[in-house]
Structure 1
Amino acid sequence: MTETYIGWAFKVAGVILFLLLPPYLDGIARRVKARLQYRRGPPLSQTWYDLRKLFGIPSVIPTRSAMFRAAPYLALASAIMAALLLPYGGYVPVDYGYNLIVFFYVIIMVSIFIMLGGFSVQSAFSHLGSAREMQLLLTVEPILAVVYGVLAYNAGSLNIATIVSNLHLTPSLILAIIILAYALYVESGFVPFDVAEAEQEVIGGPLSEYSGRLLGVFYYAIYIKRFALLWFFVSLISYPVVGSVKDIVGSAGLFVVQVLLTIAFYPIIAAIEATNARLRIDHIVKTNVKIFFIGLGILAMTFMGW
């Protein structure tokens, strides 16, 4: 009974965390980038202020397409579902077998709904941004699929909680985690891989025709998606070190490590964004294709037990 209460406590804590923390993480990134550019920067809560303002403004609807209105909410639902599949202090809010496959698909759906929202309106900027998002998706998702295959084979499971707590240190696993870090960064759309948004070129890309509440929902979905991808990576590197202990002390310690690592990675991300220029889409595609074939070699190493 005590373990049940502990599990529910960490599941609720995880839900509260991924609903509240992502905009603050974006605030940290904005503050760090400002400091690197010798500016004071906005308060850490600025992203929440921006979202609250957007949520209170009616959206301008430039099309009769139902997808234009539905896409932001479907993207937010997909991002929340992805976050629910991740372990928080050793406990997963929505836990069942093969949830790695579900995580793979629902996290893709955020990008797909962004594309559908962009294609649902007559705008050259929206269509161009959506086309770029599609190119990114088609080249980075195969990399993630290969890396997920390495992780699943290494741990002998397709359950995320089982994978992160049963990984065996091998050369192929180390290489897979390095490639995973790259692929998750690209998937998150950070600079220099923000070619779909590219506000200086295509004025926001798929979101250029969105405004008010619908734009705020889309931004919120993107923040939660980025959090989910980073939390997945953090769990992979923290569980083998700290261990998954099913008691309140061990679970709390693991949860704290996950939170601290997630926060610690954001200044690094901000530094990368502040010191790099946006890449061209063709360069990104070529790089992703090369890394995909490297990933296939790592997968072969995994099958050979290396």
Structure 2
Amino acid sequence: MEVQKIVFALITIAIIFFLPPLLDGISRKIKAILQWRQGGPILQTYYDLQSLLSMEPILPTERLAFRIAPYIAFASALSAALVLPFGNFVPVRFTGDFFVFLYVLAMFSVAMMIAGFSVNSTYTNAGANREMMLILSIEPVLGVAIGIFALNAHSLSISGIPLNLTFTPSTILAYVLLAYAVYAEGGFIPFDIAEAEPEILEGPLCEYSGKLLGIFKWSMLIKRLALLWLFVSFLVIPIIRDFIDISTFAGGLVVLVAQLVAVFVLYAIIAIIEASNARFRIDQAIRVNSKVFMASLVVLIIAALGW
């Protein structure tokens, strides 16, 4: 049992730290192909991160908030990933950890706002304002979606929810809500409004460079992985648990492989969606998010009635 935990722990560490840049590289390659460009190699994101992390940053301000914001973002993204199930292994598990998951994701956005507001720049301030408006409009949708799953499974544990889920009309609708929330929360096009490179020069990250920018970029990729891993865990585990004993080493590996395959497939689909859409304006995104939130409340009522 100890050997099994060590193996899964090592695999989990590798997935959390090193898989996100690979997924981003694959996504960039797919978008390049769809847009009739050659694009960079699949490992380009690794090269970019290595280059940034090896460079000393140029600090436009002496404010401590500017320097610690990337580390807060990295810690938040890492904390969100650590409460998720990897196969049958959960790095950090306790009752009510789904509240922690939502909290640390919100802290990531807070770090982005700190980064933007700590510098006297029109671009960074605009990006921070957009991040604040986006998080206030999409975080409730994510919370309600996970809450519906928790209500259905009678569990407040991220790892316990997929083990006890039953497929009801409200649960199926919750998958749709969760997919939307994960996509929007991940900042994929058309929801990359806070950074908006051609418009406001990456917004909150505009004044960052070198190692600090590299940490921010890496943490953003880890956050995206955590969000997608949450979705595929809720989708894959309830299906597989009915066919094999996932508490065994072999069963855990089967679940882990299924999660990995699902993440790769989802990232490819997301790349196709990104290549086919333009960025929303902030008012458009908030309007759409508000409508989805109202729909999520209706689904929550359905779930509370036991349907």
**TM-score by structure 2 length?**
0.97
In the alignment, is the contact (CA less than 8 A) between 1:12 and 1:93 conserved in 2? no
Percent of pairs with identical residues = 46
In the alignment, is the contact (CA less than 8 A) between 1:111 and 1:137 conserved in 2? yes
Match of 1:25 in 2: 23
Q: Across the two proteins, how many residue pairs are aligned to each other? A: 304
In the alignment, is the contact (CA less than 8 A) between 1:15 and 1:84 conserved in 2? no
Aligned partners of 1:104 and 1:87: how far apart in 2?
16
Match of 2:285 in 1: 284
**Aligned partner of residue 295 in structure 2, secondary structure:** helix
Match of 2:63 in 1: 65
Residue ranges of structure 2 left out of the alignment (5+ in a row): none
Match of 1:234 in 2: 232
Aligned partners of 1:158 and 1:140: how far apart in 2?
21
**Aligned partner of residue 6 in structure 1, secondary structure:** helix
**Aligned partner of residue 47 in structure 1, secondary structure:** helix
Match of 2:144 in 1: 146
Aligned partners of 1:25 and 1:98: how far apart in 2?
30
Which one of the candidate residues 106, 120, 127 is aligned to 2:104?
Answer: 106
The reply on whether 1:41 has 2:39 as its aligned counterpart is: yes
Write the deviation string for residues 189-238 of structure 1: whole angstroms up to 9, x where unpaired: 01011110011111110000101110000000000000000000010100
Query: For residues 128-167 of structure 1, what are the structure 2 equivalents within 5 Å?
Result: 128-167=126-165
Structure 1 segments of 4+ aligned residues over 2 angstroms from their partners? none
Aligned partners of 2:151 and 2:6: how far apart in 1?
30
> Aligned Cα RMSD in Å?
0.9
Shift of 1:267: 1.1
Query: For residues 156-305 of structure 1, what are the structure 2 equivalents within 5 Å?
Result: 156-243=154-241, 245-305=246-306
Aligned partners of 2:271 and 2:47: how far apart in 1?
20
Aligned partners of 1:45 and 1:101: how far apart in 2?
35
Aligned partners of 1:148 and 1:261: how far apart in 2?
19
Write the deviation string for residues 28-63 of structure 1: whole angstroms up to 9, x where unpaired: 000000110112221111000000000111111011
**TM-score by structure 1 length?**
0.98
Aligned partners of 2:109 and 2:47: how far apart in 1?
24
Shift of 1:7: 2.7
